[in-house]
Protein backbone atom coordinates (compact mmCIF):
# COMPACT_ATOMS: atom_id res chain seq x y z
CA UNK A 1 0.00 0.00 0.00
CA UNK A 2 1.36 3.43 -0.92
CA UNK A 3 1.28 6.41 1.33
CA UNK A 4 -0.60 9.56 0.40
CA UNK A 5 2.74 11.39 0.11
CA UNK A 6 4.06 8.81 -2.34
CA UNK A 7 0.87 8.77 -4.40
CA UNK A 8 0.49 12.55 -4.62
CA UNK A 9 4.24 13.10 -4.78
CA UNK A 10 4.26 11.34 -8.15
CA UNK A 11 1.36 13.46 -9.39
CA UNK A 12 3.05 16.59 -8.08
CA UNK A 13 6.23 15.72 -9.95
CA UNK A 14 4.24 15.23 -13.15
CA UNK A 15 2.48 18.58 -12.68
CA UNK A 16 5.85 20.26 -12.06
CA UNK A 17 7.23 18.69 -15.23
CA UNK A 18 4.14 19.76 -17.16
CA UNK A 19 4.57 23.29 -15.85
CA UNK A 20 8.19 23.33 -17.03
CA UNK A 21 7.17 22.03 -20.44
CA UNK A 22 4.29 24.48 -20.70
CA UNK A 23 6.70 27.31 -19.93
CA UNK A 24 8.80 26.17 -22.87
CA UNK A 25 5.67 26.11 -25.03
CA UNK A 26 5.62 29.89 -25.06
CA UNK A 27 7.82 29.38 -28.11
CA UNK A 28 5.04 27.67 -30.09
CA UNK A 29 1.64 29.24 -30.82
CA UNK A 30 0.00 25.88 -31.63
CA UNK A 31 1.20 24.41 -28.36
CA UNK A 32 -0.03 27.47 -26.49
CA UNK A 33 -3.43 27.03 -28.08
CA UNK A 34 -3.44 23.43 -26.78
CA UNK A 35 -2.55 24.52 -23.25
CA UNK A 36 -4.88 27.53 -23.36
CA UNK A 37 -7.93 26.29 -25.32
CA UNK A 38 -10.87 28.64 -25.90
CA UNK A 39 -12.82 26.97 -23.08
CA UNK A 40 -10.05 27.90 -20.61
CA UNK A 41 -9.69 31.42 -21.96
CA UNK A 42 -13.43 32.10 -21.88
CA UNK A 43 -13.69 30.81 -18.32
CA UNK A 44 -10.71 32.70 -16.90
CA UNK A 45 -10.14 35.75 -19.12
CA UNK A 46 -11.95 38.40 -21.12
CA UNK A 47 -10.57 36.99 -24.40
CA UNK A 48 -11.87 34.12 -26.51
CA UNK A 49 -8.44 32.70 -27.37
CA UNK A 50 -4.85 33.02 -26.19
CA UNK A 51 -3.98 34.56 -29.54
CA UNK A 52 -6.66 37.24 -29.04
CA UNK A 53 -5.46 37.77 -25.47
CA UNK A 54 -1.96 38.57 -26.72
CA UNK A 55 -3.17 40.54 -29.78
CA UNK A 56 -5.23 42.80 -27.50
CA UNK A 57 -2.14 43.61 -25.43
CA UNK A 58 0.17 46.57 -25.91
CA UNK A 59 2.87 44.34 -27.40
CA UNK A 60 3.40 43.45 -31.04
CA UNK A 61 3.87 39.69 -30.99
CA UNK A 62 4.32 37.75 -34.18
CA UNK A 63 7.17 35.45 -33.23
CA UNK A 64 8.52 33.35 -30.38
CA UNK A 65 11.25 35.87 -29.80
CA UNK A 66 8.80 38.77 -29.48
CA UNK A 67 6.67 36.83 -26.98
CA UNK A 68 9.76 35.89 -24.97
CA UNK A 69 10.91 39.54 -25.02
CA UNK A 70 7.81 40.82 -23.17
CA UNK A 71 8.98 42.01 -19.75
CA UNK A 72 7.75 39.42 -17.24
CA UNK A 73 6.55 41.96 -14.68
CA UNK A 74 4.58 43.89 -17.27
CA UNK A 75 3.00 40.71 -18.65
CA UNK A 76 2.16 39.62 -15.10
CA UNK A 77 0.37 42.96 -14.60
CA UNK A 78 -1.51 42.45 -17.87
CA UNK A 79 -2.55 38.95 -16.79
CA UNK A 80 -3.67 40.22 -13.38
CA UNK A 81 -5.78 42.94 -15.02
CA UNK A 82 -7.44 40.71 -17.63
CA UNK A 83 -7.79 37.32 -15.95
CA UNK A 84 -8.76 35.65 -12.70
CA UNK A 85 -5.06 35.05 -11.98
CA UNK A 86 -2.45 37.09 -10.12
CA UNK A 87 0.31 36.53 -12.70
CA UNK A 88 1.26 34.48 -15.76
CA UNK A 89 2.85 31.69 -13.72
CA UNK A 90 -0.43 31.13 -11.86
CA UNK A 91 -2.36 31.19 -15.15
CA UNK A 92 0.08 28.78 -16.75
CA UNK A 93 -0.04 26.46 -13.75
CA UNK A 94 -3.84 26.24 -13.85
CA UNK A 95 -3.83 25.75 -17.60
CA UNK A 96 -1.24 22.99 -17.23
CA UNK A 97 -3.29 21.19 -14.60
CA UNK A 98 -6.40 21.38 -16.79
CA UNK A 99 -4.40 20.21 -19.83
CA UNK A 100 -3.15 17.25 -17.80
CA UNK A 101 -6.68 16.38 -16.70
CA UNK A 102 -7.84 16.48 -20.35
CA UNK A 103 -4.96 14.22 -21.38
CA UNK A 104 -5.89 11.75 -18.65
CA UNK A 105 -9.58 11.92 -19.55
CA UNK A 106 -10.56 13.30 -16.15
CA angle 17–11–40, rounded 5-degree value: 70
pTM for this model (two decimals): 0.70
Backbone angles phi, psi at 84, to 5 degrees: -90, 15
Query: In the prediction, which pLDDT does 4 show?
Result: 44
Rounded distance between C-alpha atoms, residue 68 and residue 58, angstroms = 14
Please identify every stretch of the chain with a pLDDT value under 70, giving residue numbers as ranges: 1-11, 14-15, 17-29, 106
Average pLDDT, the chain: 83
Amino acid sequence: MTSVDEEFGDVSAVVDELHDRASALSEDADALAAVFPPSFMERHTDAATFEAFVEESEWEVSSREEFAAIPQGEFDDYVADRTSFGDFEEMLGQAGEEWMARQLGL
